[in-house]
Amino acid sequence: MALLRLRWNRSKYLLLLFLPALVYYVMFKYVPMFGILISFKDYNPFKGIWQSEWVGLKYYEMFFHSPDFPKLLKNTILLGVYKVVFGFPAPIILALLLNEVRKGVVKRLVQSISYLPHFISNVVVVSMMFLFLSPTSGLVNHVVEWMGYSSINFMQNENYFRTLYILSEIWQHIGWETIIYLAALSAIDPQLYEAATVDGASRWHQLRHVTLPGIMPAIVILFILNIGHVLDIGFEKVLLMLNPSIYSTADVLSTYVFRTGIQAMNYSYGTAIDLFTSVVNLLFILTANWISRRTSETSLW
């Protein structure tokens, strides 16, 4: 009891600082969460969520028995894993490269330019992909033909979808995601570099022993957060790229929810699938956090 009072005294001002965030989370995140119930009900918007009929796990069973379930899960996991494997390191590498640039002007210029694509909406990005990758008039295929190969039907070939999706994701967000690492880099004590230089450390050594450890906490936290979103593939961009010839690799959970849950107005079914996705994501993040806690000092909690 006394211990509790001591801790309370020690943390009352911290709790005061946390209060606004707490109020926000309760009001805008937890109060609406009763909406999850609709995945166990036959939701009727007119009657409202409480009055709608209970159906138990009907929608979950429906989803697990769908003939497309294995395909959707496989496509989603593969795309998510590739996104983490290739998409996650990309901004780190760019940040480290920028860190090696000694001319401030070049550094700032490259930074400011590389984050531009983040501001182009998916609609425009995908329409440009169609334009530049077109097998008939696309710039890329002109190059391919010029090199003596026959033109490639990029957007209508199931084997190219994942590569194109990941590459375009990296292109869109690399500059933007670099910003956070640049902020982390700015927190490294310059004296550490000076000491290393005096010791005669090469640039490679400085990178390994000063720079990387300096931004490691940020890398670890962002990695854990990314792991927690493996199955979250934004539906908009995939949907824009989707066409019948690439269904076998491109159809993912979110596009399926969009078609069967939202467009066909099966809100309960869509919510059930979303909840399933969330649970899997949660398992991923719990595992990642557990491993991180055991192997490094950084963890979410």
- The residue among 75, 76, 83, 74 whose CA lies nearest residue 223 is 83
Which one of 79, 92, 218, 288 is in contact with another protein (CB under 8 A)?
218
Based on the shown chain and the rule CB under 8 A, indicate whether residue 175 belongs to the binding site for another protein. Answer: yes
Nearer to another protein, 14 or 147 (CB): 14
Residues 76-105 that bind another protein (CB under 8 A): 94, 97-98, 100-101
Which one of 78, 187, 195, 291 is in contact with another protein (CB under 8 A)?
187
Nearer to another protein, 56 or 190 (CB): 190
Two structure tokens written together for 63: 């989803």
* Minimum separation from the CB atom of position 83 to another protein (A): 16
d(CA 242, CA 158): 10
* Minimum separation from the CB atom of position 264 to another protein (A): 3
d(CA 172, CA 166): 10
Based on the shown chain and the rule CB under 8 A, indicate whether residue 136 belongs to the binding site for another protein. Answer: yes
Residues 220-249 that bind another protein (CB under 8 A): 221-222, 225, 228-229, 243-245, 247-248
Nearer to another protein, 127 or 295 (CB): 127
Based on the shown chain and the rule CB under 8 A, indicate whether residue 122 belongs to the binding site for another protein. Answer: no
Which one of 81, 85, 112, 295 is in contact with another protein (CB under 8 A)?
112
* Minimum separation from the CB atom of position 160 to another protein (A): 13
CA angle 134, 138, 143 (to 5 degrees): 125
Nearer to another protein, 82 or 293 (CB): 293
Based on the shown chain and the rule CB under 8 A, indicate whether residue 163 belongs to the binding site for another protein. Answer: no
Which one of 55, 60, 111, 209 is in contact with another protein (CB under 8 A)?
111
Cβ-Cβ contacts under 8 Å for 178 (sequence gap 6 or more): 91, 94, 95, 98, 111, 114, 115
- The residue among 63, 34, 33 whose CA lies nearest residue 49 is 34
Based on the shown chain and the rule CB under 8 A, indicate whether residue 195 belongs to the binding site for another protein. Answer: no
Pattern 16-55, binding to another protein, x per CB under 8 A? Answer: xxx-xxx-xx-xxxxxxxxxx-x-----xxxxxx------
Task: Calculate the alpha carbon distances from 146 to 3, 149, 283 in Å.
Answer: 77, 7, 49
Burial string for 213-246 (b: 16+ CB within 10 Å, else e) reads ebbeebbbbbbbebbbbbbbbebebbbbbbeeeb
Size of the site for another protein (CB under 8 A): 121
